[in-house]
Amino acid sequence: MNPKTPLRSKPLKHSFQKSIFTIVLVAISALPISASAQNDGKRALAVKLAQMQQKADGPGMTEQLTASAVQPLLAGWSQRLDEAVPPAKQKEVREKLDVELKRFTDSTQKAIDAQVAKAAEAALVPVFMEKLSEDEMKTVIAYMESPASAKFQALGPDAANAWAKRIIDATKPGVESSAKSFEAAASKIVNAAAGSNGGSSTNTQ
């Protein structure tokens, strides 16, 4: 028996198996890396889109949320002022309340503004990741960065004003007629109540 034969065949078989194993391992390892890289690329686009959205709509969001916090306080205290404070003192009290209201408004706006950017990324990125493909996000970003988008956004106030003016012009006659009807009906109700109170007072005397 030639002792060299088995000694040569075993290393060749082991080397071949090791090579196959290495190739399979590399292939398997490459799959999650590729998917992860794609996911990272999509997430980067989602973050960029969220940042662009925040830059465009953040100030309006801050203003809207601040107003929603201020308005209930303003309405409640205006009513309480009218009910509890004599007319002669209302101007002075209102001025003091305005100072406090401004302090509250500034504090609230500052707190909201500090959260707008963080909240935009936390809230919008998952939505964009789920609802938009990578290509769709690229398309949206390309448009938002384009001169056409900037020009369209600049038209916003003029377009909105033109739209509002057209609505006002179209509805003005009907609204004015309805307002006159309301004024007449309201005057009739108030005058009847005032006359009734006067009559009661006279009868009592």
Mean pLDDT for 61-79 is 90
pLDDT band at 68 (very low <50, low <70, confident <90, very high): very high
Q: Are both 127 and 42 inside the same structural domain?
A: yes
Q: Which residues have CB under 8 Å from 36's CB, separation 6+? A: none
Kindly indicate the confidence band of residue 108, based on its pLDDT and cuts at 50, 70 and 90: very high
Question: 150-184: per-residue pLDDT in tens?
Answer: 898 888 889 888 989 999 999 999 999 999 998 88
Instruction: Report the mean per-residue pLDDT for the chain.
Output: 80
**pTM score:** 0.61
165 and 105 in one domain? no
What confidence tens digit (pLDDT) does each residue in 33-44 have? 455 666 889 999
Say yes or no: 140 and 164 in one domain: no
The answer on 63 and 106 residing in a single domain is yes
User: Does the residue 88 lie in any domain?
Assistant: no
What residues make up the domain containing 110? 23-70+101-146
Residue 10 has pLDDT above 70, yes or no: no
Residues 165 and 190 in one domain: yes
Is the model's pLDDT at 118 over the cut of 60?
yes
CA distances from 184 to 138, 144, 188, 190, 200 (A): 59, 52, 6, 10, 24
Within a domain: residue 66? yes
pLDDT of 82 > 90? The answer is no
Tally of domains in the chain: 2
Together in a domain, 141 and 181: no
22 DSSP 8-state letter? H
* Closest-CA residue to 123 (of 42, 51, 75, 55): 51
Residue at 118 is within a domain: yes
Residue 95 within a domain = no
34 with 54, same domain: the answer is: yes
162 and 140 share a domain?
no
Q: Are residues 140 and 162 in the same domain?
A: no
75 inside domain: no
pLDDT for the residue numbered 39: 84
Structural domain includes residue 93? no
Shared domain check, 110 and 59: yes
pLDDT tens-digit map of 45-54: 999 999 999 9
Looking at the structure, do residues 111 and 195 belong to the same domain, yes or no?
Answer: no
193 and 112, same structural domain?
no
The Cα diameter of the chain in Å comes to 143
Q: Are 140 and 134 in contact (CB under 8 A)?
A: no
